[in-house]
Amino acid sequence: MSNNYHSIEQLLDIAVLAARAGGVVLQKYWGKQLDIQQKGRIGDLVTQVDKQAEKQILQVIKRYYPQHKILAEESGNFGLEDSEYLWVIDPLDGTTNYAHGYPQAAVSVGLLVNGVPTVGVVYNPMTNELWCAGEGLGATLNNIPIKVSTTDKLINSLLVTGFAYDRTEVEDNNYAEFCYLTHLTQGVRRGGSASVDLCYLATGRLDGYWERGLSPWDLAAGVVIVKEAGGKITAYDQKEFDLDSGRILATNGYLHSQLSQTLEKTPHSSAFSFTD
């Protein structure tokens, strides 16, 4: 144990404070005219809300843990390199949804300890839902314990996925998987916010989730919440999950092998090409 040890409960409390601080900004601008900019590919948006929410989140974390490392979507990497604590922050996961007034978006605050996702808080102020989890503490939604579903057959399941910003450029774009699994399940949804998708899985609203092309800040908080709710997280092929890989397979555990095997045998669709 290092001299800089903090209890999981204490770290979770600060993560909640940070997420709520970011949520205040989301609430302030909700439904208002936004200054929307495109960062790169089509659909990769940023607004003044992302930037202001991140500023508020960082102020909270720096106030309590000035020597911890931070990885934030808009600000990048900073802090002491030798710190065992890394805060991974998405101030507005689901910017496109938010910009269109579609309320599936959230603040995501995750904490890695020695590289392991250990604390996660996801806060959607538009629906007043706060998901929290800390290693060994279980997972909650608005302070009520949550558990994953017990659905054990794909035909009875409801799944969710997403499509990466490079989806029109590569064959590995989830289109074929989305269509194929739609025929094998009760439905496949595209939520538009990875952190909320993971929380819906943890709450039992969904039974499985897979996606590629993700960043660590999309997943760091949600994976803790799913695990603490009894779910399972791996790579597509059921090998150990790597936060930096950009790929995730998350389920209630009962469907894990079925979904993994189905993804493995689904052929990729051809890349779509769009011209002016």
Question: Which pLDDT score, from 0 to 100, does residue 1 have?
Answer: 35
Q: Terminal CA-to-CA distance of the chain, rounded, Å?
A: 58
Confidence (pLDDT) at 86: 97
Average the pLDDT over 140-144 and give the result.
98
Over residues 101-125, the pLDDT tens digits come to 999 999 999 999 999 999 999 999 9
Backbone angles phi, psi at 79, to 5 degrees: 110, 180
Q: Would the pLDDT of 272 be above 50?
A: no
CB atoms within 10 A of CB 27: 12
- Asked if the model's pLDDT at residue 4 lies above 80, the reply is no
Domains, the chain, with CATH or none: 8-145 (3.30.540.10), 154-265 (3.40.190.80)
Structural Rg of the chain based on CA atoms: 18
What is the model's pTM? 0.91
Helix, strand, or coil (residue 110): strand
Alpha carbon distance 83, 24 (integer Å): 29
- What integer pLDDT is reported at residue 275 of this predicted model? 44
pLDDT, one tens digit per residue, over 38-81 is 655 555 556 788 899 999 999 999 999 999 999 998 887 877 77
Q: Mean of the pLDDT values across residues 90-107?
A: 94
Residue 99 in this model has a pLDDT that exceeds 80: yes
Residue for token pair 């399940």: 185
- Rounded Cα distance, 94 and 100, in Å: 10
- What counts of helices (H) and strands (E) characterise the chain? 7, 15
Q: Which of 61, 49, 67 is nearest to 89 (CA)?
A: 61
- Among 224, 216, 226, 210, which Cα is nearest to 162's? 210
pLDDT digits (tens, 9 = 90+) for 144-189: 999 999 999 999 999 999 987 665 566 677 888 999 999 999 999 9
Average pLDDT over residues 7-14: 97
Q: Is residue 52 a contact partner of residue 61, using CB atoms and an 8 Å limit?
A: no
Asked whether the predicted pLDDT for residue 3 surpasses 50, the reply is no
DSSP secondary structure letters along 10-68: HHHHHHHHHHHHHHHHHHHHTTS----EE-SSTT-EE-HHHHHHHHHHHHHHHHH-TTS
Listed residue (176, 175, 252, 169) closest to 208, CA to CA: 252
- In this prediction, residue 76 carries a pLDDT of 78
pLDDT computed for residue 94 by the predictor: 94
211: number of Cβ within 10 Å:
25
